[in-house]
Amino acid sequence: MNYSDNTVKNQEVNPLINHLITRLPKRVCSWNDKEHFHLRGNSPTVVALNGSKWIEYNQGWVNMLIIDIDRPISLEMAINECLEIEFEPTWACKTDKGIHIAYSLENMISYDWDKAIKLARHIKVKLTELLKADKQGSHKLKGIYRNPLMHEHYYSGLLYSLDDFKQYLLNRDVSPKQQFKKHISKEKRKQKRYKYEIGSRNDYVFRSAMLQSKNKNLSYEDTLSLVRDICRFESMSTGVPQIDDKELIRTARQIKIYNDKDMNFVSSDNVDTRDINRGAMNFEPICKGEYIEPNEFKRIVKERQKLSAKRTNERIDDMTRSERAKANAVKREKEAREKVKNAITGLMANSWFKKKNGSWNGNAIAEYLKMDSRTVRKHLKALEDEQ
């Protein structure tokens, strides 16, 4: 381990200086004592690194995940704890109460990117839990932490991506059963409202089979066998006659359709593998390595959007833009009509989407399909005219 007790100004001797300069903006908020934290004055980054004990990190972008350990522990022991969870820190430094652990990210994250920010927060929560760190100081992304150059510190130079944590850290001890436990409990409460009796047999069998086949990726034959077994068992237990086999076949078919939709979300074996031409331009990440000003970032994004638009126009050789737009509109129209048709012909269509007067509830169908209600009514009228 390479430790340093004092600030080393020569970058060739201490590479951590160069790392921090490239990761921080040109001017940062820095302090020498806690009593002046309420005073916010920017100073050049090089000056702050060479003379301030505290620095505000992640001001404009999130480029470091810093964990605050507030318990008596040596720097070497803290590094060993990080190695036990297989995440060696980029840098770490000794504080008055404990240790600050930092993981530098390959690509910086903007606070406007909601999904990435949410994932980064989840990762910090998990790291805090595994390292037994202080929640108040570790859960926040933007905060005031120690300047490692002014304290005894360790530097490895490792860089991480959110996927490194996401693929290993977040799913380490979470099984699919635990992930969907809350959802299944909710389904069980719903299923208890129905009983196997005349008038509600179909609903009971449908919901029971849906609950038992959830996330199992059953074939149609296995689903049909499950539906028949449930019906036979409930009929023997209650003395209520069994449902006609034609109805059970329809029920099994509908369950298979619903489960296939769900498995596309939870199973990697059924993920849609269509070529959507993603990453065709093969751009390098903008926020990779060095800090970039937000205005410069926006300028680069606009330039790349122009290049992508130019490529799209060059690929359209068989049709003009207007002809392709019309063709896409016709395709979307057919897909929307097919969705509406499937909704009103499903097993639960009458109970879910029929009004008391016998007409279809366009608003309910639109909410279920996540479509505009005017579009749904248009297709309902067209389907009625076809009949």
pLDDT band at 207 (very low <50, low <70, confident <90, very high): confident
Q: What's the confidence (pLDDT) of residue 169?
A: 65
Greatest extent of the chain over all pairs of C-alpha atoms, in Å = 87
Residue 182 pLDDT exceeds 50: no
Structure tokens at 327: 């063709």
Q: What's the confidence (pLDDT) of residue 101?
A: 92
Residue 176 pLDDT exceeds 80: no
Our CA angle for 117, 123, 126, nearest 5°, is 145
Distance between CA 182 and CA 164 in Å, rounded? Answer: 27
- 254 SS3 class: helix
Least confident of 42-51, 146-155, 206-215, 254-263: 254-263
Tens digit of each residue's pLDDT (9 = 90 or more) over 44-62? 888 888 888 888 888 888 8
Q: What's the confidence (pLDDT) of residue 26?
A: 85
Domain range annotation of the chain: 15-170, 178-270, 281-315, 317-386
Looking at the chain, how many residues does it have?
387
Q: What's the confidence (pLDDT) of residue 103?
A: 92
Tens digit of each residue's pLDDT (9 = 90 or more) over 325-347? 888 888 889 998 988 888 888 77
Structure tokens at 65: 């995940």
Q: What's the confidence (pLDDT) of residue 167?
A: 67
Q: Output 185 or 248, whichever has higher pLDDT.
A: 248
Residue 265 pLDDT exceeds 70: no
Least confident of 50-59, 153-162, 288-297: 288-297
- Predicted TM-score (pTM) of this structure: 0.52
Please report where in the chains the tokens 């498995």 appear, as a residue: 263
Contact 53, 19 (CB under 8 A): no
What is the pLDDT averaged over residues 20-38? 81
Q: How far lies 135's CA from each of 102, 129, 268, 381, in Å? A: 15, 8, 33, 57
Phi-psi region at 20: left, alpha or beta (left = phi > 0; alpha = psi -120 to 50): alpha
Q: Output 216 or 100, whichever has higher pLDDT.
A: 100
191, 193, 195, 190: which is closest to 239 by C-alpha? Answer: 195
List CB contacts of 213: < 8 A, sequence separation 6 or more: 223, 226, 255, 259
Contact 30, 71 (CB under 8 A): no
Q: Output 12 or 253, whichever has higher pLDDT.
A: 253
- 57 SS3 class: strand
> Taking the mean position of all CA atoms in its chain, how far away is CA 160?
18
List CB contacts of 383: < 8 A, sequence separation 6 or more: 337, 340, 341, 344
Q: What's the confidence (pLDDT) of residue 170?
A: 59
Measure CA of the first residue to CA of the last residue in the chain; give whole Å: 79
What is the pLDDT averaged over residues 309-316? 72
Tens digit of each residue's pLDDT (9 = 90 or more) over 354-376? 888 888 888 888 888 888 888 99
pLDDT band at 318 (very low <50, low <70, confident <90, very high): low
pLDDT band at 168 (very low <50, low <70, confident <90, very high): low
In whole numbers, what is the pLDDT of the chain averaged over residues? Answer: 78
Q: Output 11 or 89, whichever has higher pLDDT.
A: 89
279, 266, 281, 231: which is closest to 252 by C-alpha? Answer: 231
Task: State what percent of residues in the chain have pLDDT above 70.
Answer: 80
